[in-house]
Amino acid sequence: ASPDRAPAPEQPAATGLAQLFGDQGPAPEGEDAPAATDSWGRPVAARRERRGLAVVWVVPLLVLSLLAGAAGGVVADRWSESRRPSDAALPEPVGSGVSGELEGVAAVAAAVLPSVVSIEVRGQGGQGTGSGFVLRDDGYILTNNHVVAAAADGGEVVVVLADGAQEPAEIVGRTAAYDLAVLKIDRTDLTPLVLGDSDAVVVGDPVVAIGAPLGLQGTVTTGIVSALNRPVSAGGGAEETAFINAIQTDAAINPGNSGGPLVDAAGEVIGINSAIAQRPGAGGASGSIGLGFAITSNQARHTAAELIETGSATYPVIGVLLDSRYEGEGVQVSAEAQNGTPAVTPDGPADRAGIEPGDVIVAIDGRPVTEDDELIVAIRAKAPGDAITLTVRSGDDERDVRVVLDQTTGAQ
């Protein structure tokens, strides 16, 4: 119910301009009219006649002023017409450079955009969109595994090219371990992007991210390389977790950018945008907070070649189980078998190098490691057959050991 209406407040005595020009109305019977005064305390009654004269003369003056203004406007229009130039001759834009060619980010975007695609996926696992880019001129496209995973067991993948053309695509191969996938469309006239050398990237290098965040195809954002060798876990679930030795960037990356290129100032791909950080407690996918992560181009080159040639990808291992409960310096090799799997694989790379159960690995190739993921992504950034140097501590003894990486789908 609405509240009771309050009684109307008494009207305050008029002040200011209301006193000077307001009508006080007739006085009630039996009472003398209140003595109205102006803002200086002078009786208004004494000035009432003068006010009437003022009002009478003000109106004609206003009319005269308006008429005079109109006449002046006509004269001014005629004068301005006679003085108006036939050509305003305003200066024309001349561009930012003498040659008129694009420079900086604009030049990079113009060169890269025609080779960046949007990907639409529909399958039993759901639907969604992502990004990708042309890997070869004969229709091979590189993207993230998590972009196309929903259609892996039967579904539809459509590649939308920069010119708006839509092409059905097949999944040539994919790997959850590296979160990469290669698609193929029936085109032979595409312009591929160059995969640059991600090992030459340094912190502070300028970068450009291109993709289709939230389905907005052809979006360009800029930033720098914020950090290197960031251990990032990404992917679709516990059984499809990718361990990425990532490039970190502050270029804005949002859902839908996944699979798109991160390019350097020369327009060469140095990373494949794959993940973004979320604030603790944030539910669902958040937007960019300046913490984006990309798979290195050198990793993408090796893995994409395997996917094209064989349809699957291998990754290197050293053949040990890690103890996730360990909280000391470095990462610890499990002291005992887990679920029937030995802590150190017999005759595996670590076993041949003399690593034993309970040993602690404190560095790889001179770079300290403090978390399990750091060691895993550093190893997966290599290739089977590569040699690495591990700094291993057994009790009080610390030593460097050379390990030649093997390939397997079992223990690390």
Place of tokens 């973004």: 276
Kindly list the distances between the CA atom of residue 9 and the CA atoms of 2, 6, 205, 206, 244, in Å, as whole numbers in the listed order. 19, 8, 71, 68, 73
Which residues contact residue 254 at a Cβ distance below 8 angstroms, ignoring those fewer than 6 apart? 213, 214, 276, 287, 288
Tokens of 279: 């604030």
Kindly list the distances between the CA atom of residue 227 and the CA atoms of 205, 244, 255, in Å, as whole numbers in the listed order. 10, 13, 21
Q: Which residue among the candidates 179, 359, 373, 406 is catalytic per the annotation?
A: 179
Q: Could you tell me which of 173, 177, 296 has the C-alpha nearest to residue 243?
A: 177
Cβ neighbours of 404 (radius 10 Å): 14
Tokens of 188: 């032979």
Q: How many helices (H) and strands (E) does the chain have?
A: 7, 19
- Known catalytic membership, residue 258: yes
Tokens of 42: 């002078």
Single-letter residue type at 242: A
Residues 140, 141, 146, 151: what is their CA dihedral angle, to the nearest 10 degrees? -60
| Three-state helix/strand/coil letters over 245-261 | EEEEECCCCCCCCCCCE
Place of tokens 């009478």: 56
Single-letter residue type at 321: L
Q: Which residue among the candidates 146, 264, 288, 359 is catalytic per the annotation?
A: 146
- Known catalytic membership, residue 302: no
Tokens of 100: 């008129």
- Integer Cα distance of 258 and 246 in angstroms: 14
DSSP 100-151: ----HHHHHHHHHGGGEEEEEEEETTEEEEEEEEE-STTSEEEE-HHHHGGG
Q: Which residue among the candidates 115, 131, 258, 297 is catalytic per the annotation?
A: 258
Kindly list the distances between the CA atom of residue 47 and the CA atoms of 26, 27, 43, 140, 304, in Å, as whole numbers in the listed order. 17, 18, 7, 95, 97
Phi-psi region of 56 (alpha: psi -120 to 50; beta: other; left: phi over 0): alpha
- Integer Cα distance of 405 and 385 in angstroms: 5
Q: Which residues are catalytic?
A: 146, 179, 258
